[in-house]
């Protein structure tokens, strides 16, 4: 049935479990609409025939009074249908908005007219996004110039990629294979050539690919120790002057146990700390300041590379289970202790 409807509607194959789910909603809406429209058309045709004029004299049309009950029932049923569609769609939207924990984070930079991918462990590639099949992959995307849109029809995911902002999207390729990436936002003369490819590899093939492409970073040849790279980057870039790694609050919130936490913001809103939020905070620290902290952080936009950003996010991942102390901003005394040392 699924396959029949998919072909009937000219939809590409379903590369993720989410694609299947989304298609089911699509099929439901289409079927209800087709059945409804056919019903209305058939009743119309029936009435045309049944109430055709049979005499030369125009008869007086009797006044038809519909009972309030029938009318209420029809309105309620229609409304329920719409609300039902909305609830199903909203649930899928929520699922798409919240990447599962443990997703592999890959940074995407779009520019006229290509896609660039940076992996947590160093390698970068243009045009081809290599991912493991069966594991959730989260993309943190930004644009270097104009608005683009990351679109993989077979995954049924599409997300605008905006300059100066980070947007996220995630998917879990069901099986190894290759899937087309398109740009779905008109972005200039080369828009139609702005294509790419998702190559999903089996677990072992992916590991082998990773071993083959990772470039050693300053003696840290082990590509799995990206958190170590993140620790070095955080120290070099000055992050550790304000953020500790042991769970105590300092000038900024501690990096420990930060990812996955719900933080209250100075604005009163609350936010789930995701790699997207962390990245945004690095690029635009004034935007969403955690309550209890003064906004003193400079922007790192353009100062750190996508790979370094990924490494810091990975460092935070490695500290997810470290317990935290109560949140309170601490300012060092002028003559007192200096920056907390980063290695703790
Ligand atoms: Cu990039 Cu269209």
Per-residue pLDDT of 207-263, as tens digits, reads: 888 777 655 444 444 444 577 777 777 877 888 878 888 777 778 888 888 888 888
**What is the residue with the minimal CA distance to atom 1 of ligand 1?**
148
Query: 57 or 21: whose pLDDT is higher?
Result: 21
Provide the mean pLDDT of the chain.
Answer: 83
Closest atom of ligand 1 relative to the 110 alpha carbon: 1
CA angle (270 as vertex; 293, 292 as ends), nearest 5: 15
Instruction: Sort strands 104-111 and 137-143 into parallel, antiparallel or unpaired.
Output: parallel
Ligand 1: distance of its center to the CA of 164 in Å? 16
**Distance between first and last Cα of the chain:** 58
> Ligand 1: residues within 6 Å at CB?
113, 148, 183, 185-187, 191, 194
Q: pLDDT digit string (tens) for 282-322?
A: 888 888 888 888 888 888 887 777 777 877 887 888 788 77
CA angle (273 as vertex; 110, 147 as ends), nearest 5: 20
Closest atom of ligand 1 relative to the 191 alpha carbon: 2
CA atoms within 13 A on the CB side of 160: 10
Ligand 1: distance of its center to the CA of 161 in Å? 9
The helix/strand count (H/E) of the chain reads as 7, 12
Ligand 1: distance of its center to the CA of 109 in Å? 12
Closest atom of ligand 1 relative to the 113 alpha carbon: 1
Instruction: Determine which of 42-51, 111-120, 174-183 has the lowest per-residue pLDDT on average.
Output: 111-120
Ligand 1: distance of its center to the CA of 192 in Å? 7
Measured distance CA(300)–CA(283) in Å, rounded: 5
Ligand 1: distance of its center to the CA of 184 in Å? 6
Q: pLDDT digit string (tens) for 153-187?
A: 999 999 999 988 888 899 999 989 899 999 999 99
**Which pTM was predicted?**
0.63
Ligand 1: distance of its center to the CA of 182 in Å? 8
Ligand 1: distance of its center to the CA of 229 in Å? 33
Closest atom of ligand 1 relative to the 112 alpha carbon: 1
Closest atom of ligand 1 relative to the 148 alpha carbon: 1
Phi-psi region of 193 (alpha: psi -120 to 50; beta: other; left: phi over 0): alpha
């Amino acid at each position: 049935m699924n396959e029949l409807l998919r072909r009937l509607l000219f939809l590409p194959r379903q590369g993720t479990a989410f694609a299947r789910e989304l298609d089911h909603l699509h099929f439901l809406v289409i079927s209800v609409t087709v059945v409804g429209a056919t019903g209305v058309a058939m009743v119309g045709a029936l009435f045309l025939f049944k109430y055709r004029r049979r005499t030369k004299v125009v008869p007086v049309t009797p006044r038809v009074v519909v009972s309030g009950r029938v009318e209420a029932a029809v309105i309620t049923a229609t409304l329920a249908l719409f609300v039902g569609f909305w609830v199903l769609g909203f649930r899928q939207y929520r699922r798409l908005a919240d990447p599962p924990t443990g997703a592999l984070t890959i940074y995407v930079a779009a520019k006229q007219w290509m896609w660039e991918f940076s992996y947590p462990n160093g390698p970068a590639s243009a045009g081809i996004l290599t991912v493991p099949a069966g594991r959730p992959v989260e993309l943190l995307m930004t644009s270097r110039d104009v608005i683009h849109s990351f679109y993989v029809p077979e995954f049924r995911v599409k997300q605008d990629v905006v300059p100066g902002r980070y947007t996220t999207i995630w998917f879990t390729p069901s099986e190894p294979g290759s899937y087309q990436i398109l740009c779905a936002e008109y972005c200039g003369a080369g828009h139609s050539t702005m294509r790419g490819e998702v190559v999903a590899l089996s677990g072992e093939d992916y590991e082998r690919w990773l071993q083959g492409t990772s470039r050693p970073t300053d003696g840290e040849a082990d590509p799995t120790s990206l958190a170590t790279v993140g620790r070095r980057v955080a120290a070099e870039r000055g992050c550790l002057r304000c953020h500790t790694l042991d769970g105590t609050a300092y000038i900024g919130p501690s990096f420990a146990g930060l990812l996955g936490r719900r933080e209250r913001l100075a604005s009163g809103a609350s936010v789930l700390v995701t790699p997207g939020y962390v990245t945004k905070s690095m690029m635009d620290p004034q935007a969403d300041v955690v309550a209890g902290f003064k906004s003193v952080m400079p922007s790192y936009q353009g100062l750190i590379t996508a790979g370094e950003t990924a490494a810091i996010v990975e460092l935070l991942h490695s500290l997810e289970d470290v317990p935290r102390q109560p949140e309170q901003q601490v300012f060092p005394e002028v003559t007192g202790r200096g920056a907390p040392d980063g290695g703790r």
